[in-house]
Structures are given as structure tokens and as C-alpha cells.
């Protein structure tokens, strides 16, 4: 069983316990302030967390942008750029203008620019800081959800 599956089962047990309305789709990220190549980042995140950060919607992207101080690796790679490091598919993207451009060459790994939150394809050997995907932290007590939709 993968860490990701364990995490999902934990969500289901927790949610079905009635203690919280936390969504299994909420993504939580752990920022790692070390610069590594994309492949090294993938190994690090899989060992210590779930996987490289995945981004499935604008809220996820905004969360990463708000936490980013430098350009960071994200878990997206090569053609067709819809398959993430954790093997999930996503139709969401946030490419910058004229990206991915594979220019000058061999840009097979996805990065997020701290200045704009836009995505670029970058050479995988570039050293960037990064985010790992982790299980959400569970609240100690049920939180009031006043003002939230749904």
C-alpha cells in the first residue's frame, strides 16, 4: 500500500467518524528549503512524505504561491504534462505564456515561479527548493465552519 493510499484511508476513517468535515481533497504541502534536482526531490518527498506537490485546482496553486519564496519544483513532468509524479491526472494547469516551450532544450520537469505562480518547464537538473505533498494536519477539535459554503 502506498503512502498516498494510506493517507486516503486515514481521511475516510477520520471523516466517517463524524469528527470533522475535512475534505479528502484538501491538499497540504510541506516546504523544503533545500535546493535539489527534480529527481532528487521526488525521492526525498516519497521517502519522507507522500510525493512531490500536485496541484489540481487554482486554490492549490494559490496555496503554493503564498508559501513560495523561491521558484520551486512541482510534481509535473514531460509530455503530455497532465501526469503527476503520484500518477494522478489533472486537467488543471497554470502555464505561463508560451510555456511549456522546451527552450533551450530538455526541459522535462515542471516548476512554479515564486513571483507569479505560473508554471514553466525547466531542465530537471536545475536546483530548486520544493514542496512535498503531505496528509493534512487534523484539528484537535471540530472547527466551526461558519461562513464556508457547502
- Any contact of residue 120 with Ca ion (CB under 5 A)? yes
- Any contact of residue 73 with Ca ion (CB under 5 A)? no
Contact 73, 32 (CB under 8 A): no
Distance between CA atoms of residues 98 and 81, nearest Å: 14
Contact map string, positions 87 to 106, toward Ca ion, x by CB under 5 A: --------------x-----
**Least distance (Å) between residue 76 CB and Ca ion:** 12
Neighbours of 120 (CB within 10 A): 19
Length of the chain: 150
Which residue from 107, 130, 133, 134 is in contact with Ca ion, where contact means CB under 5 A?
107
- Any contact of residue 121 with Ca ion (CB under 5 A)? yes
- Any contact of residue 82 with Ca ion (CB under 5 A)? no
Distance between CA atoms of residues 60 and 58, nearest Å: 5
Taking CB under 5 A as the binding criterion, the range among 53-61, 89-97, 120-128, 139-147 that sits at the site for Ca ion is: 120-128
Handedness of CA 30, 36, 38, 39 (dihedral sign): negative
Binding site for Ca ion (CB under 5 A): 101, 107, 120-121
Amino acid at each position: 500500500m502506498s503512502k498516498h493510499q494510506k493517507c486516503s484511508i486515514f481521511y475516510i476513517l477520520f471523516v466517517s467518524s463524524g469528527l470533522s468535515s475535512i475534505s479528502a481533497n484538501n491538499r497540504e504541502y510541506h516546504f523544503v528549503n533545500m535546493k535539489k534536482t527534480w529527481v532528487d526531490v521526488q525521492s526525498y518527498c516519497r521517502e519522507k512524505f507522500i510525493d512531490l506537490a500536485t496541484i489540481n485546482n487554482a486554490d492549490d496553486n494559490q496555496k503554493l504561491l503564498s508559501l513560495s519564496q523561491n521558484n520551486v519544483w512541482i510534481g509535473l513532468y514531460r509530455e503530455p504534462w497532465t501526469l503527476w509524479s503520484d500518477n494522478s491526472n489533472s486537467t488543471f494547469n497554470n502555464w505561463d505564456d508560451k510555456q511549456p516551450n522546451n527552450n533551450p532544450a530538455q526541459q522535462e520537469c515542471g516548476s512554479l515561479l515564486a513571483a507569479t505562480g505560473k508554471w514553466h518547464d525547466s531542465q530537471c537538473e536545475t536546483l530548486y527548493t520544493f514542496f512535498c505533498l503531505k496528509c493534512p494536519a487534523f484539528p484537535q477539535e471540530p472547527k466551526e465552519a461558519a461562513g464556508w459554503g457547502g
